[in-house]
Amino acid sequence: MSPTCNCSHDTIPNGLPRELHEQFKDPNHPANLICELCRLFYDNNWVTGTGGGISIRDVEGPNPNIVYIAPSGVQKERIQPWEMFVVELPDEKILRTPNDIPKELTKSYKYKQSACTPLFISCYTLRDAGACIHTHSQNAVMITLLYEDQSVFKINHIEQIKALPRLEYNSKSGKVEKIGSLENFETLIIPIIDNVPHEEDLVESLEKAIKDYPGTSAVLVRRHGIYVWGETIWKAKVYNEAIDYLLELAIKMKIAGINPIKD
């Protein structure tokens, strides 16, 4: 089930606590999926140079409030399952950090929590997401430059739009819920927020964008990248792929003088 190659990439070392050793035998454990997808995203040029990150909430596990987050500033394609920060919602209590792991496995590297952490938490809190992906995709950055004076990116009448969910605020549950998929002729709208010097300071504008655009599954950050979330990590992956496809196409259209919005 691995993206480009099914070779056993990660052999679990002996030094790990027995409990983790058991957990990581499951290729679908959130910590393993983060590693697998980071390698895939690296090949897509989305997380090179330590950029970007992934977080998964363990929605299928015994405690769906537990969140796994890739650490800050490391080479994303080389992280190992024992290098995750593990946080419990809603209090954001830190259950485990890679600094708790035997030093011979981490070479005494001092891990820091990802600066994206509060942004990931916003997606979990405001949207009940199961996973959140952050990339430095050049398509995301370029579209925000081509729409420099605009606060949203829009595209319509492209088949791939169908891969994205139709979301609606449900006044009974008080939640934004998926009620199907977009149609290909509909307009996909993704808000663009401006970058700030410190990633954690993006929280306010990200949360505002999420609230102002209840139909969106993503927020573009100008001159920076994109945040995409979904009900599960696989949905988040699909939404991210479909959006990046549409961003790439829109850039080509703009450069060829074709409006991504058809009348």
Judging by beta carbons within 10 Å of its beta carbon (0-12, 13-18, 19+), is residue 103 exposed, middle or buried? exposed
Q: Is residue 183 a contact residue for a copy of itself (CB under 8 A)?
A: yes
Q: What is the DSSP string of 61-127?
A: SS-TTEEEEPPTTS-GGG--GGG-EEEETTTTEEEE-GGGS-HHHHTT------TTHHHHHHHHHHH
14 binds a copy of itself (CB under 8 A): no
| CA–CA separation, 3 and 114 (whole Å) | 24
Q: How many residues bind a copy of itself (CB under 8 A)?
A: 55
Residues 201-260 that bind a copy of itself (CB under 8 A): 221, 223-225, 234, 237-239, 241-242, 244-245, 248-249, 252-253, 255-256, 258
Candidate ranges 90-98, 123-131, 136-144, 212-220; the one touching a copy of itself (CB under 8 A)? 136-144
Can residue 160 be called a binding residue for a copy of itself (CB under 8 A)? yes
Question: Which of 45, 65, 113, 187 lies at the binding interface for a copy of itself (CB under 8 A)?
Answer: 45
Judge if the upstream peptide bond of residue 90 is cis by omega within 30 degrees of 0: yes
**What gap in Å lies between CA 20 and CA 260, rounded to an integer?**
48
Residue 83 a catalytic site member: no
Q: Which is nearer to a copy of itself, 95 or 252 (CB)?
A: 252
Is 244 within 8 Å of 136 (Cβ atoms)? no
If one asks whether residue 200 binds a copy of itself (CB under 8 A), the answer comes out as no
Q: Which C-beta is closer to a copy of itself: that of 60 or that of 92? A: 60
Burial 60-69 (b: 16+ CB within 10 A, else e): eeeeeebbbb
Q: Rounded to whole angstroms, what are the CA distances from 218 to 49, 78, 97, 132, 152?
A: 22, 26, 28, 9, 11
Which one is catalytic: 22, 148, 159, 199? 159
CB closer to a copy of itself out of 4 and 173: 4
Q: How far is the CB of 159 from a copy of itself (least distance, A)?
A: 4
Q: Give the footprint of a copy of itself on residues 70-129 (CB under 8 A).
A: 75, 77-78
Tokens of 98: 């890679």
Structure tokens at 58: 């363990």
Nearer to a copy of itself, 94 or 145 (CB): 145
Identity of residue 207: E
User: Which sequence positions are flagged as catalytic?
Assistant: 159
Binding site for a copy of itself (CB under 8 A): 1, 3-10, 39, 43, 45, 48-51, 75, 77-78, 136, 138, 141-142, 145-146, 148, 157-160, 163, 183-185, 195, 197, 221, 223-225, 234, 237-239, 241-242, 244-245, 248-249, 252-253, 255-256, 258
